[in-house]
Amino acid sequence: MDNIPQKLGYAFLLAYPVIACVLSLLITKYTIPLLAKAGFLASTGDRHIHKQTTPTAGGIAMIIAFILTLGLAFVSERIGIGIVDFSQNYKFLIPLVVLLIPTGIIDDRFGIRARYKLVLQIIVALLCWVLGIRFCLKFCNSSFELIELALTVFWIVGFINAFNLIDGMDGLAAGITMIASTCMAIVLFLNGDVGNAVIMMCLGAVCLGFLRYNFYPAKVFMGDTGSMFLGYMFATVSLMSSTKAASFSSLMIPLLAGGLPLIDTFLSIWRRVTFKMLSGAENGVMSADRKHLHHRILESHNNNQASTAKIMYFVALILGLAGIAVALLDNRVPGIALVLVLFCFLVVVRRFAFIELRNSTQLLFQGFKQPKKTILICMILPLYDLAVLFIGSVLTAWLLGIDYREEMFSIIMGNILPIMVFLAISRNYRILWLRAYFDEIFHLAGILVLAFMFVFLLNYAVTTNIVLHAFALKYILFFLLTFVAIIASRIFLLQLQSLMVKHFRHSRLNKSCTPVVLYGGGFNSLLYTLMNYSRLDGQQEKLVGIIDDDKALTGLYIYGIKVCGSIENLESIFQRVGFCKIVVTTANISDEKLTRLECFCKKHKIALESLAVRREPRIDPTTM
C-alpha cells in the first residue's frame, strides 16, 4: 500500500504532457475567434508568406495551457500524490508573467520597435539573474560575477530572438520546439533532473496541441507572444538544469536541441552585417529580410510550406539526436562529443550558408564601402592576441592548480605586456594577413619564440624560491597554448581567401554562371581563376575544366580544377562537360591548334577568348 502514492506520482508525470496537449488544443480552438475580434490580426504582403489575414497572438493559448498544467503539478504535489518537488522550478514564471508576456501581447496588437523590445528582453534577463537563474562558472568567484551576468543576459536574449526569427512559416516554430523540447527532456531525464524534464515535456506538448491549428494552412499564428515564450523557456530551463549538472554537455545540449533557431539567428546576423559592410546601406542587423533558412528551402520547393516545414523538422530532429549523443558521450568520451558538435555546425553552415559565404568572399576581395570599418579590422588582431595571452595565462594556472587571481598583476605585467610589445615592434600588426606569404608566418613564429624566451628569463630573474622544473613547465605550457592559437589564426587568415573562393566555386549561387574550360594549365590559368572569382559582381564564370596537351596531367586537379584531357579529346569533353566558352590561357599554342579550336567553336557556337598578359612601356628614359 505504501507504493500507491509513488505509482500515482509516476503516472502523473506521464499524464502532465497529455493534459498540457489537450488543454492547448481546446484553448487554442476557442481562442481563435476571440483573437480576431480583439484585433490580433497578422497583415499580409511585404516579407510575409501568408496570403490572407490570419489571427495572431495564439501563443496566449499555449501559455495558459502551460501554466494551468504546472498549477496542476503544484497541487498534486501538495496533496501528496506527486513525487517531484517542482517548487524550485517555478521562479522562472515571474519574469515571464510580469514582463515578457505583456511585451509580446502589446507587440502583436500594436507593434513595438525592435530596439525597445530588445531593452525589455534585457530587463527580463536581468530579472532572471536576480532570481538565481544564471550561469554558474566553476572557476569563477564573486569577483567574476559581471562575466556570469553578461553571459546570462546574452544567453536568454539570444534564445528569445532565435525562436522569434524562426517563426516565419506555418507550423515551423511550434514543430521545431516540440522536437527540440522532447530531446531536451530525454537528456534531463538521463541526468536525473526530473522536474525540469517534465517542464520541457509539457512545453513540447502545448506546441503539439497548438500545431493542430498552426500547421499549413494555419488558422492562427503564435505571434511574438508565443515565439518569445518558447525561446525564454528553452533559455531558462537550460540554465536551471546546468547549475545541477555543470559540464560540457549542460551547455552544448540546449545549443544542439535548439540548434536550428540559433543557427538561423547566427546566419541572419552574419548576412546582414556583411551586406551592410558591402553596400553601406542604412539597414541594420535588426532589419527583416526574406533570406532565412525556411525562405531558402521554401523557394527551392516551389513555395510548398508543408514540405519545407517537414524538412526543417528533420534537421531539428538530427540536431536534437546529436544533443542526446553528446549527453551520452560527454562523461565517457568528451573529445568525441566536441567533435560531434563541431561537425554538426560545419555541416549546417556548409549546406545553408551560401549567401553569407558569398558576401564574406566579396568582402575579402572588394573591401568595405564604409572606410571607417577598416579601423575596426586593424584592431581585431591585437585584441585577439591580447585575449589569447590572457586566456592562455589563466588556463595554464588553472591546469597547474595555481590561484591565478593572486598573480593577476604579475601575469599582466610580466607575461602579457612584454609579449604584446614584441609583437607590436615586429611589424606584425602592419601585415595584411589576408594577402601575406608563408614567410611572414615563420617570421611571426620566430618573434614569438624570442618573446617567450625573454619573458621566461625575465620572470626567472625577478622571482625568488623557484622550483626550476615546475617553473619551466608553467612557461612551456603557456607557450604551447598561446603559440598555437596565434599562429593558427594567421594561417587561417592566410588561407581564408582561397577557401572562400573554393567554396564559392562549388556554391549553388555559382550554378547559373557560364560554364567555361581553360586551354592550358600553366600559371596563367591560376591568374584567370583569381581574376574571375575576384569579380563577384554577377558576371562570374563557372570554371568546369582544363584542357592541356600534357597527357600526364589528365585526371589531375590544377588549382582546384580538373584536367579533362587534351585537344584530341575536345569532342568527348564537350559532350561530357557541356561548356559554353573556351579561354586560351597559354601563349605557347601553335597556329594549327588555334585554328582547330576556332573551327570547333564555330561548329558548336561556342565563344573563344584568349588571355593576354603583356607589358606595355609607358616611358622610355633612353629616348628622353
Question: Residue 141: which pLDDT band, with cuts at 50, 70 and 90?
Answer: very low
Q: Residue 62's pLDDT band (boundaries 50, 70, 90)? A: very high
Task: Tell me which of 269-273, 291-295, 429-433 is least confident.
Answer: 291-295
Stretch among 96-100, 215-219, 345-349 having the lowest mean pLDDT: 345-349
Q: What is the pLDDT of residue 204?
A: 93
pLDDT confidence band for 101 (50 / 70 / 90)? very high
Q: Report pLDDT for 2.
A: 46
Q: What's residue 363's pLDDT?
A: 63
pLDDT of amino acid 232 = 93
- SS3 per-residue string spanning 64-83: HHHHHHHHHHHHHHHCCCCC
**What residue spans of 506-569 are helical by DSSP H?**
523-533
Residue 539, pLDDT above cutoff 90: no
Residue found under cell 530551463: 237
Averaged over 9-25, what is the pLDDT?
82
Is residue 291 over pLDDT 90?
no
Amino acid 458: pLDDT: 81
Q: For the segment 472-501, what is each residue's pLDDT rounded down to a tens digit? A: 888 888 889 899 999 998 888 777 666 665
pLDDT band at 277 (very low <50, low <70, confident <90, very high): low
Average pLDDT over residues 27-45: 85
Helix (H) or strand (E) holding 198: helix 194-214
Nearest of 128, 173, 179, 172 to residue 154 by alpha carbon: 128
Cβ atoms < 10 Å from Cβ of 289: 12
Helix, coil or strand: residue 538: coil
Report the share of the chain in percent with pLDDT over 90. 14
Instruction: List the one residue out of 242, 270, 225, 243 whose CA is nearest residue 102.
Output: 225
Q: Is 55 helix (H, G, I), strand (E, B) or coil?
A: strand
On the question of pLDDT at 436 being above 90, the answer is no
pLDDT at 422: 86
pLDDT at 598 over 70: yes
Residue 330: its pLDDT value, please?
Answer: 62
Of 179-183, 535-539, 574-578, where does the model show the most confidence? 179-183
| 8 Å CB contact between 55 and 40 | yes
Intra-chain end-to-end CA distance of the chain, in Å: 115
Q: What is the pLDDT of residues 408-423, one digit of tens each?
A: 666 777 788 888 888 8
More confident residue, 402 or 289: 402
Question: pLDDT tens for residues 209-251?
Answer: 999 998 888 889 998 999 999 999 988 988 888 655 444 555 6
Calculate ∠ Cα 544-545-551, nearest 5°: 165
Which segment of 2-11, 46-55, 63-72, 594-603 scores lowest on mean pLDDT?
2-11
Query: What pLDDT band is residue 371 in, cutting at 50, 70 and 90?
Result: very low
Read off the pLDDT of residues 548-575 as tens digits, 9 standing for 90 and up: 888 888 888 887 788 998 888 888 888 8
Residue 147 confidence (pLDDT) above 60: yes
